[in-house]
C-alpha cells in the first residue's frame, strides 16, 4: 500500500519489534500503521503534559491585588446572602 507519509529508518529493541509485529498481525494492519498510531498517541500525551505544565505555571503565580479584593468581596456577599436565608 502506498501512502503520502515520510519514510524513515529507526532502530528499536527486538522485543518491541516483536510486539509491534504481533499487534500488526492481530489487527491485520501494517507495522507502519501500528508505529504511526503509537507515535500519534505519544505526541497527544506530550501536548497534554505541556498544557498542564503551562496551566500549573499560570496558577502558581501570586494573585493580583484586584483578584484578591474581588474574591474577598464575593465571599462577603455570599456570607451576607446566606445569613439572610437562615431562619
How many CB atoms within 10 Å of residue 34?
19
pTM of the model: 0.60
Work out the average pLDDT over 16-21. Answer: 97
Dump pLDDT digits (tens) for 19-70.
Answer: 999 999 999 999 999 999 999 999 999 999 999 999 888 877 777 788 888 8
- Report which of residues 41 and 79 the model is more confident about: 41
80 pLDDT band (50/70/90 cuts)?
Answer: confident
Residue 77 has pLDDT above 80, yes or no: yes
| Cell numbers that stand for 6 in this block | 515520510
Residue 36 CA neighbour count, 13 Å, CB half: 11
- For the purposes of burial, counting CB atoms within 10 Å of the CB of 29, is it exposed (0-12), middle (13-18) or buried (19 or more)? middle
Amino acid at each position: 500500500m502506498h501512502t503520502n507519509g515520510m519514510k524513515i529508518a529507526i532502530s528499536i529493541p527486538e522485543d518491541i519489534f516483536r510486539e509491534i509485529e504481533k499487534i500488526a498481525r492481530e489487527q491485520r494492519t501494517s507495522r507502519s500503521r501500528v508505529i504511526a498510531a503509537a507515535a500519534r498517541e505519544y505526541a497527544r500525551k506530550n501536548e497534554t503534559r505541556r498544557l498542564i505544565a503551562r496551566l500549573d505555571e499560570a496558577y502558581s503565580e501570586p494573585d493580583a491585588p484586584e483578584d484578591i479584593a474581588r474574591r474577598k468581596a464575593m465571599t462577603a456577599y455570599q456570607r451576607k446572602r446566606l445569613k439572610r436565608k437562615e431562619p
